Each structure stands twice: as C-alpha cells, then as structure tokens.
Chains A and B, each alone.
Chain A
Amino acid sequence: MTDASRGGPAHNAGKTRRQAYEDQLKKRSLLIAGASTVIAVLAIVILVPMAPGWEKVERSFFNWSVFQRTFPGLLEAFLQNVMIFAWSAPLIAVLGLAIALMRDARSPVLFPLRIFGAAYTDIFRGLPVILTVYLIGFGIPGLGLPRPWNSPYIWGTVALVLTYSAYVAEIFRGGIDSVHASQRSAAQSLGLNDRDTMRYVILPQAIRRVIPAQMNMLIALQKDVALLSFIGPVEIFRQAGVYKSLLANFTPYVGAALIFLAVTIPATRYADYLMARQARERS
C-alpha cells in the first residue's frame, strides 16, 4: 500500500474519508428537505383554493387592486408607529435602568425607592398593556389638561413607556444579578465605593449580557404601538381599519401585517444572532 491510498487527505479529490461521508449525508438530507417542501407547498396551493369559502376570502383579503390603492397610505401611517417607537424606546431604556437600580439600592435611606421600584414592576407587569393604555390614555386627558397635554398620542405613549420599562427593569436586574459576586469583591477590595462599583464594574457587564433579551423587548414594543390605535392616534392599524370601512375589504389588514413583518423578521433574526453569538462566547 502506498502512503496516499491510506486515507490521508491526498486521495479522493482532497477529501478525507470522513469529509466524503459527511458530504454524502448532506446531499441526501438536502434532497429530502427539498422534496418535502415542494410537496407541502403544492398541498397548500392546491387544497386551500378547493375550500368552499375560498373565493370570498380571496376577494376580501387578497384583493390586489385594494392592496395597490391602500398600501402607500398604510406606509405613511406606519411612520406614525415609527415615531412613537422612536421616542418611547430611549425613555423605556432610561426608566427601566433607573427602576432596576432602585430595586438594587441597599442603603436604608433609599428604602422608599426600593419599595417604589418593587411596586412599580408588580403593577405594570401585572396589568394587560391594553388596560394601561386605556386607563392612562383616556384617564389623564380626562383631567381637562390644556392643549397639547390632553393628547392621547402623548398619554398613550406614556402608558407604553410605563409598561415596558417594568419589563425592561426586570431584565436589567437579572443581568446585574448574573455578574459574579467576586467582581464586586474585587472592586471593593480596591477601595471603590458602591456607586463606582456599580457604574464601572457591574453595569457594563450586566448591560452587555442583556442586550439580546432587550432586543426582543424592542420587537415586542414595535408591535404593541398598534395598541394605541384604540385611543386615537391614526397609526397603521387604525389606518387599515379606516380603509376597511371605506372599501368594505380586509386586504389593508394584510398589507399592514406585511409591513410589520418586514420590520420584525429582520429584527428577530438579528436578536437571535446576538444570542447565539453570546452563547458561543460563554461556552
């Protein structure tokens, strides 16, 4: 036997025996996956239109001319969502972090803050978002505040900020707790006070760890902006409703769904990527 024939990387087009075997497996599973996908898609395309109500559904949900007419208007209304999202997200981050730090406060002077932090997260995590939106969005403008402070646009957003910062605070707190106690010991042994220990040692590590989880909260927030439609602001969901009433057709809702997905799917993928990368770094 020569050296080359003994299974070294030299033979079989530069592949080792194991590589050749794995390539074969890969080819096989690709074929099976392709075939089963084609069958599944065919089944849907052929079977669904055979349902008795399909023509009606097609007319009222997948109406191309309605889609064309309403889509630009929907996109414009979506700007409203983006605006609400863009100014509530930073507020949520700041308020969430503040609440998390309140709950971590150790000094007895800060006891009221700790109680407040705990009560805050209990209340706003315990209420359905839509209820908070109703109570604050209708309740506070009902106090008879002067313009523009009676706008449901403002108070609806405040409701979202309150609810989401409660969740975000809990995620930050989990991140703070996940930093090992020995890091705090090391900082203290150097003579750093509690504030500097938190600011320079604990928080930077905690925040890095919770970024993927917070990305998920951003995605959820982006969708929940649609809840404000119930109290007034004409954002995309509300606009779709207006078109629906106008044209007696549900297609605008499908258009709105597509716009949401166009934003949330890439964002979700990115969050997944961040999480996977973090899992790799820790292993």
Chain B
Amino acid sequence: MAKLELRNVIKEFGETRVCDGISLDVEAGEMVCLIGASGAGKSTLLRCINLLEPIEDGEIFLDGEDISVPGLNPEPVRRRIGMVFQSYNLFPHMTAAENVMLAPRRVRGLSVSALLPEVTALFERFGLADRMDNYPDQLSGGQQQRVAIIRSLAMRPEVMLFDEITSALDPQLVGEVLDVLRALKGDGMTMILATHEMGFAREAADKVCFLKNGKVLEEGVPGELFDAPRQPETQEFLARALK
C-alpha cells in the first residue's frame, strides 16, 4: 500500500478546472517532484492534499484511509502532513523559535521546556542555532525558509509538501534550502515537491511528474523523463526549462 494515494482528483475554481483527474502513488520514503509551467495545477494539488482546498471529486488516501471525505475534520490530517510555502509564511510577530513552537504547544499540547531540546536540535541541525531568537524580518530568505521547514518538522509529519520553496529566493540562497531537502530524504521522509529546480529534481527525485492543464501528462524516474521524454508537450517544456 502506498503512503499517499491520489485517485482521479478533480478541483475546480468556479468554472476553471485546475486539477483534472490526477492520480498519483507516493510510496513511503519517496521523493516525488511535480514539474510543469505555472498554472499547471502543481500548487493547487499540494493544497488539496493538505486539505487547504476541498476537492470536487476523486479520493486521497493516507495510509489507506480516505482523507478527502467531505466533512472530515481536517485538523488531525494536517498534523500528519506538513507544508512549506513559496513565500515562507512565517508569523512576523514571533521569533523563529516561537514560530516553530506554536503548533507543537497548541496542537501536541507540549510545554516550552519540554519542546526546547527537540527544537534546539532542529535549529542546530540546519545551521540556525544562533538565529532562534531572531524575528523573521531579521533573517535572510534562505534562513526564513529553513525556519519554515523546521516549523513543519516540529509537528513530526509523516509526509511533507513543498510548494516551490526556492522560487522566491536569490540564486545564491537556493543551495542552502536544497541541502535541507537532501537531509530529509536521507531521513526517509516522504515528500512531494512542486518545483522549477530541474537539476535538483533530476538528482534527488525518485519519481518526476509532468503536469499540464491539471493533468499528469507523463511520469517516470528522472533518468527516463528528463533524458527520453515520450510526450511532445514534455519535450517542449523541458527544452525550454533546461535551456
């Protein structure tokens, strides 16, 4: 059984069909990269998986349990699925450490003193030990994004979703964030990334899916999809993206 299974997921915004029957299997410990032009439905699909957007039709299974049942309480599901956003979305009125500890305190019901060793270890691991008491606007984009990842990890999620998390970063800051993803892959985290970083997808992904107009047009291991794409649309997209 796959860790996460999407069956024919359909999502519409008004008249526009953003996800048009997407099916996808993600095995435990796998890293799946979603590629495709802006507006192809990558971000929306991630938001649907995290139940930030209700889907029109289809099913989403987490460990074989349907989490897309209309009316299901989304909060317990979201605790198990972490999400990191393109624009970091740190809470500007809290320090980095407070950002990270808010959800574990409120949702996992832990005290600051109980959390501190675990949280400190996360900050140390990702090279931010001296930044715990800084506010987001005192951090660089790369540092903010790493704090956002730590904030998700502190909830001990089983699956992580990354929505173009390097797109807002200056080129020289992209590397430090990708390093975090490599480390998480080493831990065996199950991950889905919407990304424009083709080089990273080729190097690190277990599976790459090319999306266009809300459909998965082609999927495969990175070697196949990047070196020998079958669909003309994939060839065209890759020719432009890799130029």
Contacts and interface: CB of A to CB of B under 8 A. Distances in A.
B89 interface: yes
Contact of B82 (A182, A187, A189, A204): A189
Which range holds the interface residue count of chain A?
Answer: 10 to 19
A188 to B, nearest CB: 6
Given A185-B52, A208-B93, A191 B103 contact: yes
B103 A190 contact: yes
A186 B102 contact: no
B107 interface: yes
Given A183-B91, A205-B93, A188 B52 contact: yes
Lowest 5 A-B CB distances belong to which pairs?
A186-B89, A190-B103, A191-B79, A189-B83, A191-B78
Contact of B93 (A189, A193, A204): A204
Interface in A164-196: 182-183, 185-193, 196
A181 B118 CA distance: 30
Nearest to B73: A193
B76 to A, nearest CB: 7
A234 B76 CA distance: 59
A190 B155 contact: yes
A183 B182 CA distance: 27
Contacts of A187: 91, 103
Contacts of A204: 93
B91 to A, nearest CB: 6
B91 A188 contact: no
Given A189-B50, A191-B107, A182 B85 contact: yes
A186 B107 CA distance: 14
Nearest to A191: B79
Interface of B: 47, 50, 52, 74-76, 78-79, 81-83, 85, 87, 89-93, 102-103, 106-107, 148, 151-152, 155
Contact of B106 (A182, A183, A200, A205): A200
Contact of A188 (B78, B87, B106): B78
A200 B74 CA distance: 19
Contacts of B52: 185, 188-189
A201 interface: yes
Given A182-B87, A189-B82, 6 more contacts: A186-B90, A191-B75, A191-B78, A192-B103, A193-B75, A205-B93
17 contacts: A182-B87, A183-B89, A185-B52, A188-B74, A189-B50, A189-B52, A189-B81, A189-B85, A189-B152, A190-B78, A190-B82, A190-B103, A193-B75, A196-B107, A200-B102, A201-B102, A208-B93
Nearest to B93: A204
A174 B8 CA distance: 40
A185 B89 contact: yes
